[in-house]
Amino acid sequence: MTKFILMDIEGTTSSISFVHETLFPYAKENMLEFIRENKEVPEVQDILTKLCAEQGSGLSLPAAAELFNKWIDEDKKHGLLKKIQGLIWKGGFESGELKGHLYPEVASILKEWKGRGVELGIYSSGSVEAQKLLFKYSVEGDLTTLLSNYFDTGVGHKREVDSYMNIINELGVEANEVLFLSDITEELDAAKSAGLQVTQLFRDDLPSTKDHPHVTSFSELEI
């Protein structure tokens, strides 16, 4: 019996293009201005101090912004980058400039699952803060009341079995009671090895070989 559904975001609940064509460019376009305007804010000061310490030398504000933007181009999974991106996105979501993308059926299906007593959570490489923003300011309104847990790479990387064991331990449920949804085969491999149920999302074309149970939409899932 499925008691908990754990979901990836990119390619699963939301399009990959939203992240790469909307969120990343928004962070880049606003990076330097944001740093200049918020350099005295303690959270931003802490990010900049840690960045300078990591780089082994002081960085001007333009140099710091340039480095962060270089990491965005490289799709680097760096904690300091995630934090400053999250702060920039927060302003964009709160102002209404950004709205979190969802595939058309996602909101209604999440409500249906929640109404049937299934607990729901997110496991994404994006920070927990960024995950919450996407669902709070989604195109379908605030959906955060539907989600009970959020996990990022603080529990481990998504292609490692131990990460899913850590999640199971935190949830306090049996591994086989959790269904993990993702579009990435290697993530599903790791989750399956940890004992979770898995289903792969193919939002676009179906490949010729399929290693896991698969659907093209949440509406095809039988829970």
The domain over range 18-95 is classified in CATH as 3.30.1600: no
How does pLDDT run across 103-141, given as a tens digit for each residue? 999 999 999 999 999 999 999 988 899 899 999 999 999
Per-residue confidence in pLDDT tens, the chain, 223 aa: 899 999 999 999 999 899 899 999 999 999 999 999 999 999 999 999 999 999 988 899 999 999 999 999 998 889 899 999 999 999 999 999 999 999 999 999 999 999 999 999 999 988 899 899 999 999 999 999 999 999 999 999 999 999 999 999 999 999 999 999 999 999 999 999 999 999 999 998 777 677 899 999 999 999 8
Predicted TM-score (pTM) of this structure:
0.89
Domain extents for the chain?
4-15+100-220, 18-95
4-15+100-220 and 18-95 share one CATH topology?
no
CATH of 4-15+100-220, picked from 3.40.50.2020, 3.40.50.1000, 3.40.50.300, 3.90.550.10, is 3.40.50.1000
Find out whether 82 and 126 touch, Cβ atoms under 8 Å: yes
